[in-house]
């Protein structure tokens, strides 16, 4: 008997169906009815886009892991090697931008679910598994940038250990647990590699599976409508009637939007990877190179800024309690507010809370990027064009201003740090006596220079600072310092 290829494929397919049952289960699953979201339909693409980028991360991650050596001595060199190959550099770029994309998308997805009230009955567990995924993604982001194992990667581990050290009772042990011993050394990187490549991804797989199972079991939430109040007793029946009345098959009526948005997201990530390239490798992870100024990645900059700006006494509490309170609030949300109105127009505070969070992250992220609290230790000596003279006490004072470290914290005419007040016009604001007092006494964020500056240096410095005026004053008429 002769059969054409089409019949052969069909025969194989029905054999596969008969022995596994997968097609008979998968096709109805793909075509399961979802609510007709109409104008809100594009809001529903964020979750699937997060999943797609996660798959991108798995593919690029496996690709990178095939060349990366997780040893403190070799990791840096293997990354440098990967970056020198044409496609290795692109894959690194995709993985790095993909990591940022995951943080953005999972955040946007959480905001969408919160605004739509989709965490209410019967989808509370969907929210809770999502919260677990959010923190796991942040865990991936942190451990990922650390695997770069350049200077910033190394100091990230030390700073993480120091932060963990603030935990009551077990702090010191926890800090050394992160380091895998007494010092940051050979054993440190391997455990972060294991976390990033095995442990956290395994948990993510589990929670994604659970999350998707819940989406199928409880159905995609319908777009909220003012007056459609969630009542646990009747909701499931009401939802089923809604689907019977106006449901559309997920595949392909809703899924095409996921495909469009997914391609846009992945296209953007790959384009950035090709055009911008992967994050540059810093100096080698040699702890004896002291010039490091470690900074977190953008997604943790806001937290870095908050920790830097809060009152000092509250630091120990905020480092430990801040994240703990965030977790508690996110966990309690669907348990406490499990029914009632879903529409954000009936929950106006929801808009307020989202606006507040987005503002905090954006504002403090910017502040963290500028990091005004960090001294600018690479500030060059003030040029003659700023000082105005090249000899005499004012010029000598400008040198003292740089050499004694004042310039690292104070700006003069655009040079120097912004830790302390701008001293471009110090001469207009303070008398030499006031300056002298401040220099000797110091302040909360300024060291006292008592015993640390000679009379000559002080007198030059005061001459220099007093000459910083909107309208320059001839040096001859400047007042002499006391004593």
Query: What residue ranges bind other proteins (CB under 8 A)?
Result: 71-74, 76, 154-155, 158-159, 161-163, 165-168, 171-172, 175-177, 179-189, 191, 284-288, 290-294, 308, 312, 315-316, 373-375, 377, 403-405, 408-409, 417, 419, 442-448, 452
Distance, in Å, from the CA atom of 164 to the CA atom of 309, rounded to the nearest integer, reads 19
Cβ(285)–Cβ(184) below 8 Å: no
Q: Return the number of other C-beta atoms located less than 10 Å from residue 465's C-beta.
A: 27
Residue 197 Cβ vs other proteins, minimum distance, rounded to whole Å: 15
10 vs 283 by CB, closer to other proteins: 283
Distance, in Å, from the CA atom of 190 to the CA atom of 173, rounded to the nearest integer, reads 19
Distances 404 to 397, 414, 444, 457, 466 between C-alpha atoms, Å: 10, 18, 18, 10, 17
84 vs 444 by CB, closer to other proteins: 444
Tokens matching residue 144: 């990922």
Residue 483 Cβ vs other proteins, minimum distance, rounded to whole Å: 20
Distance, in Å, from the CA atom of 103 to the CA atom of 83, rounded to the nearest integer, reads 23
207 vs 449 by CB, closer to other proteins: 449
Residue 311 Cβ vs other proteins, minimum distance, rounded to whole Å: 10
Peptide bond into 12 cis (omega under 30): no
Tokens matching residue 189: 């990187």
Residue 68 Cβ vs other proteins, minimum distance, rounded to whole Å: 14
Tokens matching residue 198: 């095995």
Cβ(427)–Cβ(468) below 8 Å: yes
Residue 421 Cβ vs other proteins, minimum distance, rounded to whole Å: 14
Distance, in Å, from the CA atom of 16 to the CA atom of 77, rounded to the nearest integer, reads 48
165 vs 344 by CB, closer to other proteins: 165
- What is the SS3 assignment for 341? strand
Residue 151 Cβ vs other proteins, minimum distance, rounded to whole Å: 9
Residue 119 Cβ vs other proteins, minimum distance, rounded to whole Å: 33
Q: Return the number of other C-beta atoms located less than 10 Å from residue 55's C-beta.
A: 12
| Nearest CA among 125, 61, 142, 132 for reference residue 95 | 61
- Strand 229-230 and strand 340-341: the pairing is antiparallel
70 vs 130 by CB, closer to other proteins: 70
4 vs 378 by CB, closer to other proteins: 378
34 vs 281 by CB, closer to other proteins: 281
| Cα pseudo-dihedral 54, 55, 57, 63, rounded to 10 | 170
Residue 150 Cβ vs other proteins, minimum distance, rounded to whole Å: 11
434 vs 452 by CB, closer to other proteins: 452
Residue 188 Cβ vs other proteins, minimum distance, rounded to whole Å: 7
196 vs 347 by CB, closer to other proteins: 196
DSSP result, 422-454: --TTHHHH--HHHHHHHHHH-BTTB---TTSS-
Distance, in Å, from the CA atom of 225 to the CA atom of 118, rounded to the nearest integer, reads 12
């Amino acid at each position: 008997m002769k059969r054409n290829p089409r019949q052969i494929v069909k025969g194989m397919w029905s054999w596969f169906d008969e022995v596994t049952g997968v097609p008979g289960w998968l096709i109805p699953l793909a075509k399961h009815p979802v609510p007709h979201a109409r104008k809100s339909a594009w809001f529903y693409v964020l979750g699937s886009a997060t999943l797609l980028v996660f798959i991108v991360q798995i593919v690029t991650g496996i690709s990178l892991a095939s060349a990366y050596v997780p040893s403190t001595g070799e990791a840096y060199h293997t990354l440098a090697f990967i970056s020198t190959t044409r496609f290795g550099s692109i894959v690194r770029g995709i993985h790095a931008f993909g990591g940022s994309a995951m943080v953005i998308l999972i955040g946007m997805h959480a905001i969408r679910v919160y605004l739509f009230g989709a965490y209410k009955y019967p989808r509370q567990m969907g929210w809770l598994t999502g919260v677990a995924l959010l923190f796991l993604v942040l865990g991936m982001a942190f451990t990922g940038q650390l695997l770069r194992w350049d200077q910033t990667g190394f100091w990230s581990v030390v700073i993480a250990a120091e932060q963990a050290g603030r935990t009551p009772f077990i702090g010191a042990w926890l800090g050394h647990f992160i380091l895998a011993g007494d010092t940051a050394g050979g054993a440190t990187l391997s455990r972060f590699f294991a976390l990033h490549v095995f442990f956290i991804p395994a948990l993510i797989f589990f929670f994604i599976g659970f999350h998707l199972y819940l989406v199928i079991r409880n159905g995609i939430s319908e777009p909220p409508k003012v007056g459609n109040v969630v009542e646990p007793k009747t909701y499931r029946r009401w939802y089923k009637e809604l689907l019977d009345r106006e449901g559309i098959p997920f595949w392909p009526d809703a899924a095409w939007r996921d495909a469009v948005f997914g391609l846009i997201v992945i296209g953007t990530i790959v384009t950035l990877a090709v055009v911008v390239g992967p994050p540059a490798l810093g100096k080698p992870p040699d702890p004896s190179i002291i010039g490091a100024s470690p900074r977190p990645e953008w997604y943790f900059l806001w937290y870095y800024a908050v920790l830097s700006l809060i009152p000092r006494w509250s630091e120990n509490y905020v480092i430990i309690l801040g994240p703990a309170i965030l977790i508690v609030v996110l966990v309690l949300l669907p348990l406490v507010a499990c029914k009632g109105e879903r529409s954000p127009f009936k929950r106006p505070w929801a808009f307020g809370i989202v606006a507040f969070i987005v503002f905090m992250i954006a504002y403090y992220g910017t502040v963290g990027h500028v990091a005004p609290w960090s001294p600018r230790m690479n500030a060059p000596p003030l040029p003659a064009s700023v000082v105005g003279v090249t000899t005499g006490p004012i010029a000598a004072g400008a040198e003292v201003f740089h050499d004694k470290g004042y310039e690292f914290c104070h700006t003069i005419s655009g040079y120097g740090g912004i830790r302390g007040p701008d001293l471009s016009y110090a001469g207009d604001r303070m008398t030499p006596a006031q300056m002298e007092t401040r220099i000797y006494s110091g302040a909360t964020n300024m060291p006292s220079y008592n015993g640390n500056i000679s009379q000559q240096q002080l007198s030059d410095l005061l001459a220099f600072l007093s000459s910083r005026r909107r309208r320059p004053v001839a040096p001859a008429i400047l007042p002499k310092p006391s004593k």
